[in-house]
Structure 1
Amino acid sequence: MHHFTDKPTQNAEASAKALSVTELNGKARRLLEMNFNNVRVEGEISGLARPSSGHWYFTLKDKQSQIRCAMFRNRNQALKFVPTEGMLLMVRGRVSLYEGRGDYQLIVEHMDNAGTGDLQKAFEVLKAKLAAEGLFDITRKQPLPAHPKHIGVITSPTGAAIRDILTVLKRRFPAIPVSIIPSSVQGEQAKHELVNALKLAASANRFDVLIIGRGGGSLEDLWPFNEELVARAIAGCPIPIVSAVGHEIDFTIADFVADHRAATPSAAAEILSPDRQALLNQLNLISRKLTTLTRHKLQLSQRELDNLQKRLRHPGDRLRDNSQRLDDLEIRLKQAITLKLERAQSSLSRLKDRANQQNPQRKLELLKSRNEYMGQKLIQLISSSLERRHLKLEKVSGELNAVSPLATLSRGYAITMAGDAIIRSSQQLREGDRVTTRFFEGEAICKVEKITN
């Protein structure tokens, strides 16, 4: 047993050799191992790590204190069970000090299961209570948006979780806006800050999904996410929530209450972010389909246009037909007039014959007067009829002339044609093409030198 005086003499201070850090840690380790080489300790396990070396590293704790522990592979291989988070253990070993870091630790030689720890018991009690109230029911969980417009992340702004989330979102879909609602995620005040962050996110009215979580840790590190206050705040939040607490093996009350549980913060970002490449592939597929449908529609429209062009008669042809019909009507009108005159002349001759036969002078004069009147009336009727038909002809000719392309040409416009097709767009032409340009009077053969769209 070493004894140290509080106030060494000046001579002792002067003669004492200064220790290196390694020497001091070595002396402390030997001192601990000499006095605590076979101790039994009961405590709740937390933060169990099992690296590829096969050694186990964990923490034993009670309500006030904790101690780091190590159990090497040659010892833990003899156990018939693997301890889990929150398990109450009875361990036997020796107290030592890891010289490389100066960490005080317990080297465990053997352990027994002593039951369930206090935190684990509290976890199970709260889990059963909230489950009985229906807070874990699938029917009350909200669906997650397929394409989030704005993601809110409730976590520590300096923790590893937010870095993992932002890295995944930047890789998969950097266009999604992300806002951090800062909160501590460990310690006594964390539960209150988490609840306040949830209220703040809900009142902001701009998020369509939230991620709440943190990186891995021991059961007590994750405990704010097992608090009833936080669980009820998650359940009452109107925004869909993804819980991403700890590692894949870690489960908290927040995971059961949230609308969706992600194994890690990175997994939460994967769930909420659409794959940019998959969306681009889908967009390209839709674009190709749209191009094919548009091309098919244009082909159908072009065929329909060709059919209409074949059925459409040139206004000049219609004008010639109407002019010919007018000539025909004029001929028929003249023939009708001639026939009517001939009939009248025939009737007049017959009357003259009858008058000559009867020879009544007065009756003859009356008949002659009537005949003259009828002749004048007939001429008036014929003139009136001819005038009406000429007016109608002029009206029809004016209407035809208004829609005739010849009238358009007379105002200085021209029609350009390639073969029988009328050119409506410069995109129908190629440099070097020969086209025919028709004017009001005459036409010209032209060669395309340059095309400007």
Structure 2
Amino acid sequence: MSEAISLYELNSLIKGVLSSSLPEMVWMRAETSDVRVNQNGHCYLEFIEKDSKGRTLLAKTRGMIWANTFYMLKAYFENATKQPFTSGLKVLVQVSIEYHELYGLSLTVHDIDPGYTLGDQALNRAAILKQLEDEGVLYLNKELELAVPTNRIAVISSPTAAGYEDFQDQLKKNSQGFGFYTKLFPAIMQGERSESSIISALERIYEYMDYFDAVVIIRGGGATSDLSSFDSYLLAASCAQFPLPIITGIGHERDETVLDIVAHTRAKTPTAVAEFLIDNMVDAAEELEEIAHSIVTSASRRLQDEETRLAVFENQNNFVLKRWYREQEVILSSVNNFLFRGLQRILRDNQNKVAGYRDLLTKRMQQNTRTFSEKIDYIEEALKKNTQQIMKQELSQLEVFEKYLELSSPENILKKGYTMTIKNGQIVKTKDVLAVGDKITTVFADGEINSIVNNYEEYK
């Protein structure tokens, strides 16, 4: 077993090998990511390379541009390309390779070729925006109006993201005490599965869209290279055509994705999204307060005007009303007298008519009583005659039935020379019920004989 070396010694060995085997400067093709400038003017970034489909990272290395070099290269690059030096650019840069025992591998930029312009991300983004514009959907979501108030929010985020917690905390602790009703639709917010996951969350929200005023898509911090899923055509098209306003807070102030461009409103961070919603509620509350004040003022002014008009009307019509009341009293008195005399006359006439009707009814009732008595006597006599006749007919019919029953009785039939055969207490009506060996009884008019069947023949 060879002698072991320390980590520092190993890193020093790697540093020496790289320094001796690589040139001092090399030109390198890569894509910029997570570009940021600190307060001293130094630029820190990542260089990345993806596969041919632009989805999977193949390589990533830290890079930096010292402040004095960055100042010149940035001006040179932006003047030549007419675009800012930012993430998502495909660049050709001259770098020196440094390996530090503590900080590892890094690349220091010394020069840049502006002719090597947009990177794969920027080209892809431009193509997506052009396609959405050609299809007429790029600004559809921006044309939607925010509901007043906007406080029923569907949230697409990772449930464990710090940005989601910040968003919720900001809404709950708003100083105005506004109520917000949020529903989380969990989704994967980075990596290859984030595109399909966010679209799936949108589809679930669509099923309950009547319950929400807007959709918020938020994500915490992270490397700019993790934002590629937000430059997806399918995600951008889904959001652009979604029937509810979409507000984004992806958490990168310096990076604008395709999703940010098609969304109704773009905020820099999840907290900024919450502040936007709170400000929207403040505006709605102020507008409602102004409307309420305007209604109260208009109503008060209208009441004053009506009270003044009523007072004037009362003064102008007081004399007319009094005279009208006196005239009505005279008219009512005359009408009362007329009605009283008319009622007395009607009562006298009706009393005479009632007396005549009473005499007529008395005579009619006496006449009807006599007529009904005569009819009852006639009906009673007819009933007696009909009853007697019916009784005679029924008695005659009974005598006929009695004679018939007497002639049809078994005793009379046996006396005429007929016999009756009985088997097991039952009258034998056909030979089919008899078999050889059966005991039978033959009944005559003057007695009966028991016998056994030996044989029988059929009549032909």
Normalising by structure 1, report the TM-score: 0.57
- The offset of 1:274, in angstroms, is 4.2
Counterpart for residue 183 of structure 2: 179
Specify which of 59, 68, 72 is matched with residue 66 of structure 2. Answer: 72
- The offset of 1:190, in angstroms, is 0.8
Of 184-193 and 249-258, more deviation after overlay is shown by 249-258
Of 150-159 and 107-116, more deviation after overlay is shown by 107-116
Counterpart for residue 243 of structure 1: 248
- Do the aligned residues in 1 keep the contact of 2:35 with 2:45 (CA within 8 Å)? yes
Counterpart for residue 97 of structure 1: 100
Superposed CA deviations along residues 155-196 of structure 1, whole A, max 9, x for unmatched, are 223334334533554436731212222211110111111111
Counterpart for residue 216 of structure 2: 211
Rounded to whole Å, the distance in 2 between the matches of 1:387 and 1:128 is: 98
Specify which of 145, 168, 190 is matched with residue 166 of structure 1. Answer: 168
1:68 corresponds to which letter in structure 2? Answer: R
- Do the aligned residues in 2 keep the contact of 1:32 with 1:97 (CA within 8 Å)? no
Superposed CA deviations along residues 376-421 of structure 1, whole A, max 9, x for unmatched, are xxxxxxxx98973999xxxxxxxxxxxxxxxxxxxxxxxxxxxxxx
Counterpart for residue 152 of structure 1: 154
- The offset of 1:45, in angstroms, is 1.4
Specify which of 233, 236, 239 is matched with residue 238 of structure 2. Answer: 233
Rounded to whole Å, the distance in 2 between the matches of 1:58 and 1:233 is: 31
Rounded to whole Å, the distance in 2 between the matches of 1:178 and 1:69 is: 41
- Do the aligned residues in 1 keep the contact of 2:15 with 2:101 (CA within 8 Å)? no
**Closer/same/farther in 2, CA of residues 51 and 308 from structure 1, 3 Å limit:** same
**Closer/same/farther in 2, CA of residues 6 and 204 from structure 1, 3 Å limit:** farther
Q: How does 1:34-73 map to 2 (within 5 A)?
A: 34-37=16-19, 38=24, 40=26, 41-63=28-50, 64-73=58-67
Rounded to whole Å, the distance in 2 between the matches of 1:308 and 1:213 is: 66
- Do the aligned residues in 2 keep the contact of 1:173 with 1:273 (CA within 8 Å)? no
Rounded to whole Å, the distance in 2 between the matches of 1:239 and 1:309 is: 58
Superposed CA deviations along residues 224-253 of structure 1, whole A, max 9, x for unmatched, are 111223223223433222334343432222
Superposed CA deviations along residues 288-330 of structure 1, whole A, max 9, x for unmatched, are 4444444444444544665677666999x9799959x97xx9x
2:100 corresponds to which letter in structure 1? Answer: L
- Do the aligned residues in 1 keep the contact of 2:248 with 2:263 (CA within 8 Å)? yes
SS at match of 1:121: helix
SS at match of 1:145: coil
Rounded to whole Å, the distance in 2 between the matches of 1:144 and 1:319 is: 66
Counterpart for residue 125 of structure 2: 123
Rounded to whole Å, the distance in 1 between the matches of 2:10 and 2:63 is: 17
Rounded to whole Å, the distance in 1 between the matches of 2:179 and 2:2 is: 65
Q: Does 1:202 align with 2:202?
A: no
Count how many residue pairs are aligned between Structure 1 and Structure 2.
314
- The offset of 1:210, in angstroms, is 0.9
- Do the aligned residues in 2 keep the contact of 1:244 with 1:265 (CA within 8 Å)? yes
* Aligned CA-pair RMSD: 4.1
SS at match of 1:179: strand
Rounded to whole Å, the distance in 2 between the matches of 1:201 and 1:269 is: 19
Q: Does 1:388 align with 2:370?
A: no
- The offset of 1:197, in angstroms, is 0.7
Rounded to whole Å, the distance in 2 between the matches of 1:238 and 1:320 is: 71
Rounded to whole Å, the distance in 2 between the matches of 1:309 and 1:139 is: 60
Identity of aligned residues (%): 25
- Do the aligned residues in 1 keep the contact of 2:141 with 2:262 (CA within 8 Å)? no
2:18 corresponds to which letter in structure 1? Answer: F
Unaligned 5+ runs, structure 2? 51-57, 79-84, 345-460
Larger Rg: 2
**Closer/same/farther in 2, CA of residues 56 and 98 from structure 1, 3 Å limit:** farther
Unaligned 5+ runs, structure 1? 9-15, 330-383, 392-453
Rounded to whole Å, the distance in 1 between the matches of 2:178 and 2:117 is: 48
Counterpart for residue 136 of structure 1: 138
- The offset of 1:74, in angstroms, is 4.2
- Do the aligned residues in 1 keep the contact of 2:143 with 2:264 (CA within 8 Å)? yes
